[in-house]
Amino acid sequence: MSKTETLYGLHAVTTVLKSAPERVLSLMVLQGRQDQRVQKVLQLAAQNGISVEQIARKKLDTLAADGNHQGIVARCRPGQAHDENFLYQLLDNLDEAPFLLVLDGVTDPHNLGACLRSADAAGVHAVIAPKDNAAGLNPTVRKVASGAAESVPFIPVTNLARTLTQLQERGLWLRGAAGEASTSVYQADLTGPMVLVMGAEGAGLRRLTREICDQLIKIPMAGSVSSLNVSVATGICLFEAVRQRTS
């Protein structure tokens, strides 16, 4: 495992400074940038005794994978690595109905980051994904997630089918999104202990994942487009669940 991680973007860096400042080893800020948003970040750094270095844009661009660093980059110790044991401990300690999101093979880091951001906003307790043939947490994901990668547990698992079966055995209902489903997301019961299972870009749910789900649901489509981007579809399904769970 890498001894350090690179975080960039105002939201991601601010979140880690607030939630786990002990992880931040140093900050690099664009030379000459002194606006109010950066000043708030610098204030958090000063409160935690974190060194700050003024850096030329060219060097910052090389540190950020996609160049969209918003003028701030943090060098951090790796965050806590979550595994299946963490997941089951989390479930054991919840005092409300579990609400989980499973991403079955989402490979695009921008989609993963957007899904994490929606999951955080919807109050999801954890996001689960297979370790192989799927995107993992990297600087791009953390930037797109706008801090959500630091607040929502992301749990890569070796055998997704086995994990889903174990969640069923714990009393959680698995509802998978699939275009051919007969039940609309607006007709389905998304309350109680629930796992929302979303498929990969293009391919959708894998056959075994689909077979394990207790129910398949779909988003009604009125236009000529046959499917939505996975992060958009995830947001729609999550917030229909939020509506039901809070009404």
Q: Identify which has the larger pLDDT, 181 or 147.
A: 181
Phi-psi region of 155 (alpha: psi -120 to 50; beta: other; left: phi over 0): beta
pLDDT bracket for residue 66 (50, 70, 90): low
Q: What percent of the chain has pLDDT over 70?
A: 98
CB proximity list for 208: less than 8 A, separation 6 or greater: 161
pLDDT, tens digit, for every residue of 107-146?
999 999 999 999 999 999 999 999 999 999 888 898 888 8
Give the separation between CA 85 and CA 87, rounded to whole angstroms. Answer: 5
The stretch 150-159 carries a mean pLDDT of 94
pLDDT value at 243 more than 70: yes
Helix (H), strand (E), coil (C) string for 195-238: EEEEEECCCECCHHHHHHCCEEEECCCCCCCCCCCHHHHHHHHH
State the pLDDT at residue 216. 98
Instruction: Write down all domains in the chain, each with its CATH number in brackets.
Output: 5-76 (3.30.1330.30), 84-246 (3.40.1280.10)
pLDDT, the chain, mean: 92
Q: Select the highest-mean-pLDDT range: 64-73, 163-172, 195-204.
A: 163-172
**Percent of the chain scored above 90 by pLDDT?**
64
**pLDDT digits over 170-192, tens only?**
999 999 999 899 999 999 999 99
pLDDT score recorded for residue 1: 47
Place 67 in a pLDDT band, splitting at 50, 70 and 90: low
Report the alpha-carbon distance of residue 67 to residue 26 in Å, rounded.
Answer: 19
Whether residue 100 has pLDDT greater than 90? yes
* pLDDT tier for residue 147 given thresholds of 50, 70 and 90: confident
**Predicted confidence (pLDDT) at residue 2 exceeds the cutoff of 60:** no
